[in-house]
Amino acid sequence: MDALPTNQNKESFMKPIITLAGVLLALASACAQAEPIVIKFSHVVADDTPKGKGALMFKRLAEERLAGQVRVEVYPNSTLFGDATELEALRNDEVQLLAPSLAKFEQYTKQLQVFDLPFLFDDIEAVNRFQKRAKGKQLLRSMEDKNITGLAYWHNGMKQLSATRMLRQPSDASGLSFRIQPSAVLEAQFGTVGASTQKIPFADVYDALRAGTVQGAENPWSNIYSKKMHTVQPYIIETDHGVLDYMVVSNTRFWMGMPHKIRFELEAILDEVSFMVNREADELNRADRERIRQAGTSEIVALTPEERERWREAMRPVWQQFEPVIGADIIKAAETVNRKQRN
């Protein structure tokens, strides 16, 4: 007669089953508790601007298409980080997506100063062509040694000159003081026509123009209208002399460390969002130009092709001045996207 199994034998028999069940339970629990990748998207404007709408559209599409895998938190109006601290916060992975003005990257790369060069691009379509070509895409990766990866360009718009006097010829600007963003290129730009500059925060531009602290500025139509600059600037000259753009950026180690399929989908989503943002920015500038015209407080001055070319030639020395730090190849690539052929 066979001996009945002892308690010790039963324990030995059951141990592999218990161990296997424990492993399966642990794996199931780990899968159930896997946290989605959190992406904090911080910016400094309102939700109802093209940039603000772009951030919200990115959140919606990412959470729809990568449900349970990605969670996007949007922080508008500098509620997480402001202009002064956001890029360092990004490099430290305290925030994962930003969309600063291109001028904010000057301390990390000089190559992006190409977008500040005056009269380099004929229009926003030329800017689009450059950004889609090899050199434009190359600039997105120009700060990866600083742990910043560019993902997309978002437009604010082409800049127009506004002033207290008519500016048909470059010499008409002589003696005036213009508000600029902090940029060595923009200082040089106005210096070539005998004007001075002052670096004034955007929020204070209207007051500075009204008080006469500065007599002119450069802004897209949407900025002019939103800050009511047209009520204190009797002339707006339709120069389209430069572009005010943003770059959507992420922390390089964070972005490249994501699973490939998730990163690929997020980049595809950003392409969709960028198309919408740039279309909305263009529509907003057109609408705000018309609102300014209807207000009748400023005269909108359209330059002839010959007048615009004189401005271009007057400011062209700035290109040569900054060519060593930007790169002759980048400037040449930008110039060649213009439709008009020049000798």
pLDDT digits (tens, 9 = 90+) for 172-187: 999 999 999 888 999 9
Give me the phi and psi of 142, to 5 degrees please.
-75, -10
pLDDT exceeds cutoff 60 at 17: no
Residues in the chain: 343
Give the residue carrying structure tokens 């949007």. Answer: 74
Higher pLDDT, 265 or 24: 265
pLDDT exceeds cutoff 90 at 4: no
pLDDT (tens digit per residue) in 316-341: 999 999 999 999 999 999 999 997 65
pLDDT (tens digit per residue) in 235-245: 999 999 999 99
pLDDT exceeds cutoff 90 at 296: yes
Does the domain at 36-335 match CATH 3.60.15.10? Answer given as no
pLDDT (tens digit per residue) in 151-206: 999 999 999 999 999 999 999 999 999 999 888 999 999 999 999 999 988 889 99
Is residue 133 within 8 A of residue 333, CB to CB? The reply is yes
pLDDT (tens digit per residue) in 55-74: 999 999 999 999 999 999 99
Query: Given this model, what pLDDT does residue 203 score?
Result: 81
How many whole angstroms separate alpha carbon 248 and alpha carbon 41?
10
How many whole angstroms separate alpha carbon 227 and alpha carbon 220?
11
Measured in whole angstroms, how far is the alpha carbon of residue 42 from the centre of its chain? 12
Give me the phi and psi of 301, to 5 degrees please.
-105, 120
Query: Given this model, what pLDDT does residue 202 score?
Result: 84
Query: Given this model, what pLDDT does residue 6 score?
Result: 58
Query: Given this model, what pLDDT does residue 293 score?
Result: 97
User: What are the extents of the domains in the chain?
Assistant: 36-335
Q: Nearest 5°: CA angle at 107, between 320 and 39?
A: 130
Query: Given this model, what pLDDT does residue 182 score?
Result: 85
Instruction: Kindly report the average pLDDT of the chain as a whole number.
Output: 91
Query: Given this model, what pLDDT does residue 330 score?
Result: 97
Model's pTM, two decimal places? 0.84
Distances (CA, A) of 73 to 43, 67, 91: 11, 14, 18
* Long-range CB contacts (within 8 A, 24+) of 167-170: 167/216, 167/235, 167/237, 167/301, 168/237, 168/301, 168/303, 168/307, 169/307, 169/310, 170/310, 170/311, 170/314, 170/315
203, 287, 210, 183: CA torsion to nearest 10: 50
Query: Given this model, what pLDDT does residue 201 score?
Result: 85
pLDDT exceeds cutoff 70 at 271: yes
pLDDT (tens digit per residue) in 81-117: 988 899 999 999 999 999 999 988 999 999 999 999 9
Query: Given this model, what pLDDT does residue 15 score?
Result: 55
Instruction: Provide the angle, in degrees to the nearest 10, between the axes of the packed helices 317-326 and 328-335.
Output: 130
